Homo-oligomer: A and B are copies of this chain.
Amino acid sequence: MREILVIGSVALDTIASPSGYSKEILGGSATYFSISASFFAPVNLVATIGMDFPEKYKKTMKSFGLDLEGLEVKEGKTFRWEGSYVKDLNCAETIETQLNVFAEFKPCLPKRYEKSKYIFLANIDPDLQIFILKKFAGKRFIGCDSMNHWIKNKNRSLKNMIKKTSIIFLNDTEAKMLSGESNMLKAGKYLLSMGPEFAVVKRGEYGAILFSKNFTFMVPAYLLEDVKDPTGAGDTFAGGFMGYLAKMDKISEKNIKNALLWGSVMASFTVQDFSINRFLKLNKRDVEKRHKKFKQLISI
């Protein structure tokens, strides 16, 4: 088992969904990723928060055993995002984004984090992602995420960054946008041609596809009756995926395929409640139980 390092955002989210309204709840890509990954391996988190970040949320994060030495507290307010799923449960409508201290985020890595073999660059400015990558020499397994904003506005930096990673995680809209291909198979091939060894395309309620030079692997998404808030599903997915690989510490076809299953399982929990609330009531046995049910759902 290896430690895993994530660099991303910690946020206060305000969410409206058909299941209700929740104000200033714990969110952010690094939060979702790390809590998910913590079920598999020790996690070091690098992010920034403001002076107003509630102590109780810090406690929550610590309760998952996260190493928060890299969580920098800055003068100012914490990053806030407000979104709504009232019109479409599968697609967030952004109501408001307040970058606050996140606008000046300059990741500062505790020295000992630099030994990390498994690294996840969550969705931040690709120039920052490149800045972080420069700190790591030698063989690492590096995952990254991005979004439409960077595909449009920092395309060259994004491509330079992706070239240096081992695996890229995008949703289907982003994969089609970045590749300029409307066909999923062509989009997947394009992502690989950019440099990474693996590309994962997340399709929300329809599952995920893993592309690599040697094999392709597809999983549907776990069927749920109660979807309350899809925020963070993608980062939770990546957390389960990278977390499982860090636990196994061997990049093989079998482990990569199984990682896609574990990612799907972790994502299925996230959407069942607001924020990371579902994980507060979850233990490793619950996770293993759902993994078993998921395997039954897709095996002959």
A139 located at the interface, meaning its Cβ lies under 8 Å from any Cβ of chain B in the complex = no
Q: Which residues of B contact A257 (CB under 8 A)?
A: 300
Q: Of B184, B186, B216, B225, which one neighbours A205 at CB under 8 angstroms? A: B184
Closest residue of B by beta carbon distance from A300: B257
Q: Which of A255-300 contact B (CB under 8 A)?
A: 257-258, 261, 296-298, 300
Contact B223 A220 (CB under 8 A): no
Interface string of A188-210 (1 = CB under 8 A from B): 10000000000000010111010
A183 at the interface (CB under 8 A from B): yes
Tell me whether A217 and B297 are in contact (CB under 8 A). yes
Q: Is A220 within 8 A of B205, CB to CB?
A: no
Of all chain B residues, the one with the shortest Cβ separation from A221 is B218
Asked if A103 is an interface residue, CB under 8 A from chain B, the answer is no
Q: Does chain B have a CB within 8 A of A219?
A: yes
A185 and B225 form a contact (CB under 8 A): yes
Q: Does A254 contact B (CB under 8 A)?
A: yes
Enumerate A168-184 residues with CB–CB distance to B below 8 Å: 183-184
Interface pair A223/B216, CB less than 8 Å apart = yes
The chain B residue sitting closest to A261, CB to CB, is: B300
Q: Which 9 A-B pairs have the closest CB atoms?
A: A206-B206, A218-B220, A185-B223, A257-B300, A185-B225, A218-B297, A220-B220, A218-B298, A186-B225
Q: With A203-B206, A217-B298, A219-B220 given, can you name 12 additional A-B contacts, CB distance below 8 Å?
A: A184-B223, A185-B223, A185-B225, A207-B220, A216-B223, A216-B297, A217-B297, A217-B300, A218-B298, A219-B298, A254-B300, A261-B300
Residue positions of A touching B, CB distance < 8 A: 183-186, 188, 203, 205-207, 209, 215-220, 223-225, 227, 254, 257-258, 261, 296-298, 300
